[in-house]
Amino acid sequence: MKNILVPIGTSPDAHETLQYAVDFAAQFSSSVYVMEVFNVTSGAGKLANITATVEKSGKERLKEVIGMVDAKDVDIKIATYNGDLIDGLKEIDEEIGIDLLIIAPRSNDIQEELYLGHTSGRMIKRTEIPTLIVPKGTKFNPFKVVLTGFKSGVLKRKRILNPLIQIKNQFESDIHLLLVKTPGYTDKDLQVNTALMDISSQLTLAEHATTYLGILEHIQLHRPDLLCVFRRKRGVFTNLWEKNTIHKAEFSAKIPVLVLSVKKD
């Protein structure tokens, strides 16, 4: 896990997410990129000057946030981008290779009924980068128990699991698999990827109306330190594909959530 990126919004608690990322990165000797996105459009004559001024202001703010955390000898770098957030994430990923995004659930949104706000929801929906969602105020602790919940055990590539495998190896995590059979499941869904089976200590099958309800029950049973899910249109965040937000009634977790993309090469 070489490069970790932390998008910084306008939240006054942004330093908390960055501190978590730094503490996590220290375990893997990773570099942390702190990213701010701005969007400047103006007349052609003054555009360059305005862009440079806004970019400088953004960098100064990032330096202030960085100054609020204990760096623990982690290499923290600044990245800025003029344009759309998703375009910026993709461009940085192509340039340096992002192994993990670390974000807060609601980002800049303040609606208490939301688990994923518009900004954080777009990042999950429109990128293929593995993402660790860290609830506000969470302090980093090693992941000793990991619950991986899904409704289909089919994975096209083993490399999808790389972040989870690295976490298991680093923390000697006990990984519990939960396959939730929901209405309309097929026999193919019950075929669990062998690489996923190889890193797990237990596989449980459950039947529920939704994947989330199955996960909720087993969070209470196993009390994991980390929940791992897969980014699928038929997965936990089904409603995310119709909009860019997730309400707490649809999904919520008080522990960090690792979202793995089924399309990542």
Domain region containing 171? 145-261
Domain count across the chain: 2
Percentage of the chain lying above the pLDDT 90 cut: 47
| pLDDT tens, residue by residue, 43-61 | 545 555 656 666 666 678 8
Answer yes or no: do 192 and 254 share one domain. yes
Answer yes or no: do 8 and 118 share one domain. yes
- The residue-averaged pLDDT of 106-121 equals 68
Answer yes or no: do 153 and 209 share one domain. yes
Read off the pTM. Answer: 0.88
Answer yes or no: do 76 and 163 share one domain. no
Answer yes or no: do 84 and 187 share one domain. no
Kindly give, in sequence order, each residue whose CB lies less than 8 Å from that of residue 97, ignoring residues fewer than 6 positions away. Answer: 2, 3
Q: Which residue has the tokens 């306008």?
A: 10
Answer yes or no: do 92 and 113 share one domain. yes
Answer yes or no: do 24 and 119 share one domain. yes
Answer yes or no: do 201 and 97 share one domain. no
57 sits in which H/E element: helix 47-66
| pLDDT tens, residue by residue, 211-243 | 888 999 999 888 999 999 998 766 677 666 667
Q: What distance in Å separates the CA atoms of residue 107 and residue 133, rounded to the nearest whole number?
A: 10
Q: What distance in Å separates the CA atoms of residue 46 and residue 147, rounded to the nearest whole number?
A: 53
Answer yes or no: do 85 and 120 share one domain. yes
Angle between helices 118-126 and 85-96 (to 10 degrees): 40
29 and 19 Cβ atoms separated by less than 8 Å:
no
- The residue-averaged pLDDT of 15-30 equals 96
Domain at 92, CATH number: 3.40.50.620
Which of 86, 104, 133 terminates a domain? The answer is 133
Answer yes or no: do 90 and 188 share one domain. no
In terms of C-beta distances under 8 Å and separation of at least 24 residues, what long-range contacts does 50-58 make, across chains too? 51/82, 54/82, 55/80, 55/82
